[in-house]
Structure 1
Amino acid sequence: LEGIIAHIEVNEMATQDSLEGIVTTLHNYSSGKNVKYVKGVVVHVEGTPVPDSMHAHTMSTGAFLIGIRSLGYPIMTATYGTISGVTWGLMLMGDYRIIAADANLVVPILRPVQCLSRLLGQSVATHLTMGSG
């Protein structure tokens, strides 16, 4: 059977239920007898900053990112809009990252994602999280 590519559209206003549903659905596709042969995931990240109080718990703690990464699929993120706060984590979780030319990257990153120093190096990660970028 041919594989399929899962497409996910997400932004900072995603609800707890929708984020959990995404991870559960992808997990179900990768296990059991009704395997859908998912070969990869494309995450379309819309940068729309909202107050921290509007973030779902799984988004603000990074549990959504861990859930998607733990499935073992190659991930490509396609990002546009204003990248700030938790959107940095969404953008950087991909194995392949594409960002729109007119995207607005807001620094400093107030809550550094765990992969930042691995992806960019410790000095650059520190500069982005502590300085003006």
Structure 2
Amino acid sequence: MTDDEKAIRQVVASWMAASRAGDLATVLGLMSDDVVFMTPGQEPFGKETFAAAMKAMGDTEIEGKSEIVELQVLGDWAFIRNRIDITARPTGSAPVRRAGYTLTLLRKEADGAWRLARDANLLTLRS
């Protein structure tokens, strides 16, 4: 495994750990400033909309796992295909489970860090 592949796997692990901890600042730091998220039924959105949605979740507890199914590094760009299973437990509400695949593009930025640049999230509700 190359150093870049290790660094990208660490980005995914850090994202999952920060999400579980409710550490929005760390999650935002793992994204490029021009990040674009694509989810079913919504127009693409960026970092500010992502941050607002996370803040609106309040004290929601998040559990989950991510399995990298495929990882390819192409110079300063890379893509990963992930299988993700996430459960959100909002305070006072029933848990919501979503699972499925994402296709994520990462970019190695000027500081040498890999950051999420584009994400197509295909997670669906599961029981």
Of the two structures, which has the highest relative contact order with CA contacts closer than 8 Å and spacing of 6 or more? 2
Instruction: Give 1 or 2 for the bigger CA radius of gyration.
Output: 1
More strand, by proportion: 2
More helix, by proportion: 1
